């Protein structure tokens, strides 16, 4: 049949299934995450890069984000309409098709109901069979009529176990909600859960002398700007020119904790490099910053970020002209490749990341409570290695993007109990008084200061035995 010519009257023509590529990509990512407990960031970035239009990238992010943020509550609403298997026991692609359809009908605004249903049925047919397509069709058509009412019931529901109710209402794992409720109480826990499910805005760390992008507001942290959720700061010319770096306020404060950045400064867990770049911006002429990470691939990404910011990333060589040099080395921070002493050290340690769930929404479904203790052991080893080679009068910053006691308060207690030559050091003025704990200690509960959650302490090495 010639292109553009309509079929002859009365002639049967088989309809080829055409699946929306944005929703197809969203299903692939969600089904893949269900099958393998891997970080979503790389999968999302790879899939998103295939779309040329900003509108398609935005829809893809909105679809995946809505399902990951609200998965438990979506499942509860869907399960009420399933007669046999719950949604979690369906094949991953069919599970993802149901969740995608439900998210469009209930959570996201501006998507016509027929588009949400039809595209999800097409996905179920393509990745399943006629029966699964019929199941998805039946469930979503009912959700089109009843979904929002069923969703809103969870805001009023009072169950025998309030922790389990909060876990479903705000889509967090029960073990984590219970852990927080014991420590913070139900009201504060629910505040944090709401914060975690909000679509994040942007903090920008401005290069000295630079201004923020058009429409940005001044941040309360010195040298920062703010943009609302839905902005695109990485797509503006100033980003590629290195005028600003996208970094949450909690991380920016960590980069301000060292009183000065001079001599040899170690960044023991440097990738992805936002804090490394901040140290380089603050460094005094002649300083060397040694950025360590065990992954060569992550170091390459770090080097690209430093190049964008206008920093020189080198693998060796002191600065003969008095300029600042950032040196990169693929190494485990517990076994530093340079001889001591060093003048200061940042230990931005691997952690559970439970303070940044607003930005890493998939982590809710990958995190495990037993990982906290394993990470706490690693953190202690890193701090001991960092402190062992630090010069007298030098400073150590320990930071994590979590609030769990094993990774925060207990790390500080253990460090000072076993290192009598170290003392707590005063924090800079940029840290709000309300965010200060004991001397040298910064506590940032998620959302309390318009930042993600984080913890840090600052210590100074005195004379031996002091």
Assign domain 249-461 to a CATH class: alpha beta
Catalytic annotation, pick one of 269, 351, 390, 401:
401
Alpha helices in 51-129 (DSSP H): 54-69, 71-79, 92-106, 113-127
Distance CA 450, CA 447 (A): 5
- DSSP class of residue 48 equals H
Mean pLDDT, rounded, of the chain: 90
The model's pLDDT over 292-315, given as tens digits with 9 standing for 90+, comes to: 999 888 899 899 888 888 754 443
Which residue in 403, 396, 401 sits closest to 419, CA to CA? 396
Q: Does the pLDDT of residue 74 top 70, yes or no?
A: yes
Enumerate the domain spans of the chain: 21-156, 202-246, 249-461
Q: Does the pLDDT of residue 178 top 50, yes or no?
A: yes
Burial 45-73, CB ≥16 within 10 A → b, else e: eebbeebeeeebbebbbbbbbbbbbbbbb
Q: Does the pLDDT of residue 6 top 50, yes or no?
A: no
pTM recorded for the entire structure: 0.90
DSSP per-residue letters across 400-427: ES---GGGTHHHHHHHHHH-TTEEE-PP
Domains 21-156 and 249-461 share a fold: no
The dihedrals phi and psi of 221, each to the nearest 5 degrees, come to: -85, 135
Distance CA 275, CA 48 (A): 26
Which residue in 232, 170, 178 sits closest to 201, CA to CA? 232
To the nearest 10 degrees (0 to 180), the angle between helices 113-127 and 21-35 is 60
Q: Does the pLDDT of residue 5 top 50, yes or no?
A: no
Region 248-272 average pLDDT: 96
Distance CA 115, CA 450 (A): 36
What tokens were used for 308?
Answer: 């964008």
The model's pLDDT over 91-126, given as tens digits with 9 standing for 90+, comes to: 999 999 999 999 999 999 999 999 999 999 999 999
CA-based max dimension of the chain: 96
What pLDDT shows up at residue 311?
56
Region 441-461 average pLDDT: 98
Task: Give SS3 for 268.
Answer: coil
Q: Does the pLDDT of residue 45 top 90, yes or no?
A: no
The model's pLDDT over 381-421, given as tens digits with 9 standing for 90+, comes to: 999 999 999 999 999 999 999 999 999 999 999 999 999 99
Q: Does the pLDDT of residue 431 top 60, yes or no?
A: yes
Distance CA 131, CA 458 (A): 60
Q: Flag the least confident range among 31-45, 189-203, 314-328, 331-345.
A: 314-328
Q: Does the pLDDT of residue 465 top 60, yes or no?
A: no
Task: Give SS3 for 4.
Answer: coil
What pLDDT shows up at residue 18?
62
Radius of gyration of the chain (CA): 25
Q: What is the homologous superfamily of the domain 21-156 according to CATH?
A: NusB-like (1.10.940.10)
Distance CA 375, CA 440 (A): 23
Q: Does the pLDDT of residue 362 top 70, yes or no?
A: yes
C-alpha torsion 107→451→334→283, nearest 10: 130
C-alpha torsion 165→171→177→181, nearest 10: -60
Distance CA 259, CA 41 (A): 33
Assign 464 a pLDDT band (cuts: 50, 70, 90).
low
**Percent of the chain predicted with pLDDT > 70:** 93
- Determine whether 401 is an active site residue: yes
The model's pLDDT over 218-245, given as tens digits with 9 standing for 90+, comes to: 999 999 999 999 898 998 899 999 999 9
Which residue in 230, 203, 235 sits closest to 218, CA to CA? 203
Distance CA 309, CA 190 (A): 38
């Amino acid at each position: 049949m010639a292109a553009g010519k309509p079929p002859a009257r009365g002639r049967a023509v088989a309809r080829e299934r055409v699946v929306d590529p944005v929703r197809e990509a969203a299903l692939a990512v969600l089904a893949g995450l269900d099958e393998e407990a891997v970080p979503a960031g790389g999968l999302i970035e790879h899939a998103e890069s295939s779309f040329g239009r900003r509108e398609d990238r935005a829809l893809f992010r909105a679809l995946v984000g809505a399902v990951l943020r609200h998965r438990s509550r979506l499942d509860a609403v869907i399960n009420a309409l399933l007669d046999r298997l719950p949604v979690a026991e369906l094949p991953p692609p069919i599970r993802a098709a149901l969740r995608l359809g439900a998210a469009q009908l209930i959570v996201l605004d501006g998507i016509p109901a027929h588009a949400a249903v039809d595209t999800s049925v097409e996905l179920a047919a393509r990745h399943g069979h006629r029966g699964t397509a019929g199941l998805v069709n039946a469930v979503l058509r009912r959700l089109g009529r009843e979904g929002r009412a069923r969703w809103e019931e969870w805001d009023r529901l009072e169950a025998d176990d309030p922790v389990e109710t909060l876990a479903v209402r705000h889509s967090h794992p029960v073990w984590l909600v219970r852990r927080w409720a014991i420590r913070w109480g139900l009201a504060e826990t629910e505040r944090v859960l709401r914060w975690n499910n909000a679509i994040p805005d942007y903090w920008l760390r401005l290069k000295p002398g630079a201004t923020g992008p058009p429409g940005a507001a001044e941040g309360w942290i010195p040298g920062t700007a703010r943009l609302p959720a839905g902005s695109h700061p990485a797509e503006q010319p100033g980003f590629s020119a290195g005028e600003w770096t996208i970094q949450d306020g909690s991380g920016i404060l960590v980069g301000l904790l060292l009183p000065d950045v001079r001599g040899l400064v170690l960044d023991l867990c440097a990738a992805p490099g936002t804090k490394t770049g901040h140290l380089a911006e603050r460094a005094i002429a002649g300083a060397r910053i040694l950025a360590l990470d065990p992954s060569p691939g992550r170091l390459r990404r770090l080097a690209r970020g430093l190049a964008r910011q206008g920093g020189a990333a080198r693998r060796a060589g002191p600065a003969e002209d008095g300029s600042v040099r950032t040196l990169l080395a693929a190494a485990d921070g517990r076994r530093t490749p340079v001889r001591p002493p060093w003048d200061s050290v940042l230990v931005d340690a691997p952690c559970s990341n439970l303070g940044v769930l607003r930005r890493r929404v998939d982590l809710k479904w990958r995190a495990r409570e037993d990982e906290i203790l394993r990470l706490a052991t690693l953190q202690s080893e890193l701090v001991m290695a960092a402190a062992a080679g630090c010069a007298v009068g030098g400073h150590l910053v320990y930071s994590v993007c979590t609030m769990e006691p094993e990774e925060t308060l207990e790390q500080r207690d253990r460090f000072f109990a076993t290192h009598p030559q170290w003392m707590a050091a005063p924090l800079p003025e940029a840290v709000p008084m309300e965010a200060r704990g004991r001397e040298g200690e910064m506590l940032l509960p998620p959302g309390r200061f318009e930042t993600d959650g984080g913890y840090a302490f600052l210590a100074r090495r005195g004379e031996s035995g002091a």
